[in-house]
Amino acid sequence: MNIGIIVEGDADAAVYPELIRKLRNDVEIISVQPCGNDVKLMLGFVGWLKYFRYGVEHSVDKALVIRDSDCRDASGWEQRMKRTLDESRFVCTFPIHFHATKCELESWLLADVNAVNEVARQRGKRKRAQATSVDLETHRNAKELFRRVLSDAALPADAQVYREVAAAIDIERIRTRCPSFTRFAEKVMG
């Protein structure tokens, strides 16, 4: 299974392949296209889907277009993306799934502070972060909160650390703390 994903930025490009590989054991290649931000994603994802169809060096079996909803109506964002694709009249030969996270990607990373502490330990850091008790599915500043958690563990808030945390994360903890993660998992598996 080869998957193409279109995401907002570099942190997303680092995390989503790790999460997808945790959900599916049959993934061979994940082609990732970070757009820079949510506005650029909304303006350019159809072009990247065309690239997956015609320009990529290997076949894509499915594509995911993923953005944060910033605690707004996630299904509304997904419908906008679908409408944009429909209006483009581009017909794709592989399935396309649109996903807007309930709030921010960092909500999922906050679900398992043990993953942050494991990355800190592997990097030789002595500091440890504490778990947060906020409702991750409604917290509007997950990105800021995650950066504080990383800082508490003496870790930089860069794409490589995001990738390492995602690789260490327990998917079941995400499912427990962020029930909407199940929608993402279903799209990855579907």
Average pLDDT over residues 21-42: 97
DSSP 14-54: HHHHHHHHHH-S---EEEEEE-SSHHHHHHHHHHHHHIIII
Which pLDDT value is given to residue 16? 98
Check whether 182 has a pLDDT greater than 80: yes
Which pLDDT value is given to residue 109? 98
Domain ranges of the chain: 2-104+178-189, 106-177
**DSSP-derived 3-state class of residue 68:** strand
Which pLDDT value is given to residue 57? 78
pLDDT in tens, 6-21: 999 999 999 999 999 9
CA distance 148 to 2: 35
Q: Does domain 2-104+178-189 have CATH number 3.30.70?
A: no
Q: Which residues contact 184 (CB under 8 A, 6 or more apart)?
A: 19, 66, 99, 101
Split at pLDDT 50, 70, 90, the class of 127 is: very high
Average pLDDT over residues 161-181: 97
Tell me 126's DSSP state: -
Which pLDDT value is given to residue 34? 98
Which pLDDT value is given to residue 146? 97
Check whether 166 has a pLDDT greater than 90: yes
Q: What pTM value is reported for the model?
A: 0.95
Beta bridge partners of 96: 63
Check whether 56 has a pLDDT greater than 80: no
Average pLDDT over residues 163-183: 97
Contact 5, 64 (CB under 8 A): yes
Q: Which residues contact 120 (CB under 8 A, 6 or more apart)?
A: 127, 128, 129, 153, 154, 155
